[in-house]
Amino acid sequence: MATVQIPLVGGAADGETVTVELDGNDRPPLTHHHIGPEGLAGAQIYELESVDQPGRPWMYAWRGPAV
């Protein structure tokens, strides 16, 4: 399966990137749950957004804590 690196924007993981698998339609998952040093209790939710940048069509934007 193909993978892609997507940047995280906002929240505790701002500036990091994650590698995710693309689905059968060549799309990444709609959300990413970023697990911080506190484990699941400190997880942050990031939501996929399209961006108009060559070579980087997506980003994950911070939406808030998972809990």
Residues in contact with 42: Cβ distance below 8 Å, sequence separation at least 6, in sequence order: 12, 35, 36, 65
User: Does pLDDT of 67 surpass 80?
Assistant: no
pLDDT tens-digit map of 12-64:
899 999 999 999 999 999 999 999 888 888 899 999 999 988 878 999 999 99
> Quick one: pLDDT at residue 19?
97
Predicted TM-score (pTM) of this structure: 0.88
Q: Is 40 exposed, middle or buried (0-12, 13-18, 19+ CB in 10 A)?
A: exposed
Strands 3-9 and 31-36: unpaired
> Quick one: pLDDT at residue 20?
97
